[in-house]
A and B are shown apart, each in its own frame.
Chain A
Amino acid sequence: MASGHSDPPKLPKAIKLLIAGGFGVGKTTMVGAVSEIRPLRTEETLTDRSVGVDDLTGVETKNTTTVAMDFGRITIGDEFMLYLFGTPGQERFWFVWDELARGALGAVVLADTRRLADCFPSVDYFERRGTPFVVAVNCFDGTPQYELDEVKLALNLGSAVPVLLCDARRRESGKEVLITLIKHAYSRRPAAAKEASVR
């Protein structure tokens, strides 16, 4: 695909994951817990797809917005670089920017059982878009404990969507969430359908 240079060096492949959820649910905390670098912040200019209808109006009528995103990195050998992007927390409607989700292998929706509704938009968005996602319930101190099945029911999730408890501050916990996500994404890939009942 991308060739042209005489002998292009072997570069690591980037894998993009999103960490979504409501404001203050611990997205950046989770990014920081698993990232090998201190979370960085980048400003991205995004197009608001809710403005105008693509076919009828030109690009020039679309609104662009600049959002800040925190992200971290996990290097895997010299072949892969995993990038974790926290969706912009101050924006309740971050999902109007398809650019963020484009190319993402999967997403973690962080949930707080005290404000479960905060993660509804993220769940809806990934369901509609077909992005594989898991729901990780961040266990804050003093959070009422719910059964995972109750959370699943409350979010009206399909039975295949993994729901797990986590502590966004702990690396081990974040690791487990990411491993669950990668396994889920793998089981959801188009080729997996053909392999049918292997698993």
Chain B
Amino acid sequence: MNMERSPGDAQEEWLLDEPTVRPYVMTRGRTDARGRFDLVTIAVTIRSTTGAEVGLDPEHLTIARLCRRPLSVAEIAAHMDLPAGIVRVLLGDLLEKGYVAVQQPQPETDVLDERTFRAVLDGLRAL
């Protein structure tokens, strides 16, 4: 699939307001059932960008910069003032190109094992 796009496309996606789900997002098994990133999917940059990469837009580079520390989709979207759906698409590009790693949230029934429970409780008490 051709990933190239003209500068105008990003704007169009914004207007359509419909997150583009690309096939590779679904096939790599790194995403939830909807083939999208959750609002609390955590991303971190694992390969630094120089700004001269082919196929990366300024928004991609901004995400790569923001994610030097682990950050959720919701936070990336808020910091960039972009709808979460757009961030999902851009993050998908970065994941596919190997610039970021992501941690999907666990299913809700699996989240709270005893160790997590103790750690979260202690963490909250220490606030």
Residues of A within 8 A of B (CB): 1-2, 4-5, 8-9, 11-16, 34, 40-45, 64, 66, 69, 71, 73-74, 76-77, 79-83, 85, 102-105, 131, 171, 175, 178-179, 182-183, 185-186, 189-190
A189 CA / B103 CA spacing, docked (Å): 23
A186 CA / B120 CA spacing, docked (Å): 11
A16 CA / B116 CA spacing, docked (Å): 13
A80 to chain B, nearest CB (A): 6
Determine whether B102 belongs to the interface, using a CB cutoff of 8 Å to chain A. yes
- Choose one: A15, A74, A85; the contact of B39 (CB below 8 Å): A85
Known: A1-B104, A42-B84. A14 touches B40 (CB 8 A): yes
Q: Is the CB of A80 within 8 A of B29?
A: no
**Across-interface contacts of B28 in A (CB, < 8 A):** 4
Q: Is the CB of A40 within 8 A of B103?
A: no
Determine whether B50 belongs to the interface, using a CB cutoff of 8 Å to chain A. no
Ranked 8 nearest A-B pairs via Cβ:
A76-B123, A40-B78, A11-B103, A14-B40, A43-B83, A42-B74, A2-B30, A42-B77
Number of B residues, CB within 8 Å of A: 45
B window 21-66: CB within 8 A of A: 28-30, 38-42, 44, 46
Q: Is the CB of A80 within 8 A of B124?
A: no
Known: A4-B30, A43-B83. A190 touches B109 (CB 8 A): yes
Known: A171-B127, A182-B120. A104 touches B108 (CB 8 A): yes
A82 CA / B72 CA spacing, docked (Å): 11
- Choose one: A12, A105, A186; the contact of B70 (CB below 8 Å): A12
Q: List 8 A-B contacts (CB under 8 A).
A: A5-B46, A13-B103, A14-B40, A15-B116, A45-B18, A76-B120, A175-B125, A179-B125
Q: Is the CB of B121 within 8 A of A11?
A: no
**Can you list, as one digit per residue, whether each of B104-127 has a CB less than 8 Å from chain A (1) or not (0)?**
111111011000110111111101
Known: A11-B44, A16-B39, A82-B120. A105 touches B78 (CB 8 A): no
**Across-interface contacts of B127 in A (CB, < 8 A):** 34, 74, 171, 175
Q: Is the CB of B70 within 8 A of A81?
A: yes
Q: Is the CB of B105 within 8 A of A13?
A: yes
A176 to chain B, nearest CB (A): 9
A126 to chain B, nearest CB (A): 12
A65 to chain B, nearest CB (A): 10
